[in-house]
Copies of this chain bind each other. A is one copy, B any other.
Amino acid sequence: MVAPLKVGIAGLGTVGAEVIRLIESQGRVLAARCGRGARVVAVTARSKSKKRAVDVCGFEWAKTPLELATHPGIDCFVELMGGAGDPALSAVEAALNAGKSVVTANKALLAKHGLRLARAAEKHGCALNFEAAVGAAIPVVKTLREGLAGTSISRVYGILNGTCNYILTRMEQEGLSFAECLKDAQRLGYAEADPSFDVDGHDTAQKLALLASLAFGTKVAQSAVYVEGISSITPEDLRAAADLGYRVKLLGVAVRTTKGIEQRVHPTMVPKSSSIAQVMGVTNAVTIDGEGIPPITLVGPGAGGAATASAVVADIADVARGIRAKPFGRPVAQLRDTKKAPMERHEGGYYIRLLARDFPGTAAAIATRLAEQNISIESIVQRHANGAAVARAGKASPVPVILVTYATNEDAVRRALQAVQHDKVISGRPQVIRIEKN
């Protein structure tokens, strides 16, 4: 039998500790599966003395990530420190340049420097595996890289951030506000003290940039992703969505259009009957539309120590097995520039919630502005605050009007709503949520 793969691990938090435990407890199975075992030989982390879930005394302690990355005694460098810059970047790059394969869970690093790192991996014939960076244990990277190798993909979209889905689920199920649910998520450890990275959609955008590259053979480009978060969503929106047969999810969507690859992250209305609509709480899910075949949806834990470690160890197993897939599925030289489809040309249905000033002719005024932009209305509901739909509201206070349009384009919607605002027939800003059909 071939000598075991010698692994060095940088970063010994929950995930790192669990990776060490799995490599030990699953040692025999891993060896059987891969034709060779894997053995942790050296580790490093910020603090050597910190109390950890796993005993690391038996491993050599490298002084710095960089030292570990280039350690002559290791074959595979596992980067679990996180962060788009150093020390992760320089360590990963050094490892690849030293001919060592790299396994990482670092989406930020890959979204920013993925191309540069993939080039280094390719040059030195190393693996650069990152299953854990998107959807933790959900095998979405492998599925896009290998499982659908012969299928032309038209769209990939999903719930890639558990924090947002947890908040939206609670808001929908309990009628609570965004702020209340966020507070709960923070208390339960599902959201950071500074939640903006999650709730403003940036975490989803990084993951989406990786999936888009794998799906479409384009260069990873986080800057090509249009991003909107969920903080403006209200319980009223979720109730209205339910009435209309939809649920609201923060989706990352990458889709091939005639204008290029559209990459966008925003609150999205999805049909209640779709697989993605069923995904509740912190669970993640990704749907892949391949040419001529019904959608494939992968659902599972998108975070957590054990789930992330599971993906990291699977990636290590692939290195042990000798699999050296191109990091983004194709040689870097063949990855195309991402032609960013401009968001104002996005086409689809729209949900629009307006607070109409309540005098005769308001609905007509709104409908006229939409008609001017050739926007067809699928449904329009005017409601009293108590939720009862009315044909014509009383005069007292502003009344919510909920519109659902047929497929139109973003530009037309923006123009129509600008005109509506200019007409002064509504109070405040209109709420707009894009609809994604399955």
Interface residues of A (CB under 8 A from B): 22-23, 25-26, 29-30, 32-34, 131, 137-139, 142-143, 145-152, 217, 273, 275, 278-280, 283, 290-301, 304, 306-307, 309-310, 313-314, 316-318, 321, 323, 325-326, 329-331, 334
Contacts and interface: CB of A to CB of B under 8 A. Distances in A.
Nearest to A317: B149
Given A294-B283, A306-B293, A150 B217 contact: no
A312 to B, nearest CB: 8
Among A292, A294, A295, the most chain B Cβ lie within 10 Å of the Cβ of A294
A159 to B, nearest CB: 13
Instruction: Give me the 5 closest cross-chain CB pairs, A-B, nearest first.
Output: A150-B313, A139-B147, A296-B300, A149-B317, A292-B306
Contact of A149 (B143, B280, B313, B325): B313
Contact of A325 (B30, B294, B316, B321): B321
Contacts of A217: 29, 32
27 contacts: A25-B152, A26-B152, A29-B150, A29-B152, A29-B330, A30-B149, A32-B329, A32-B334, A33-B330, A137-B293, A137-B296, A139-B143, A139-B147, A142-B143, A142-B147, A149-B313, A150-B310, A150-B316, A293-B301, A293-B304, A293-B307, A294-B300, A295-B300, A298-B299, A299-B299, A321-B325, A323-B323
Given A139-B143, A217-B32, A150 B317 contact: yes
Interface core residue of A139, A273, A295 (most chain B CB under 10 Å):
A139
Contacts of A325: 321
A29 B328 CA distance: 12
Interface centre among A147, A148, A306 (most CB of B within 10 A): A147
A260 B407 CA distance: 55
B146 A142 contact: yes
B318 A151 contact: no
Contacts of A304: 293-294
A299 to B, nearest CB: 4
B313 A151 contact: yes
Nearest to A142: B147
A157 to B, nearest CB: 14
Contacts of A30: 149-150
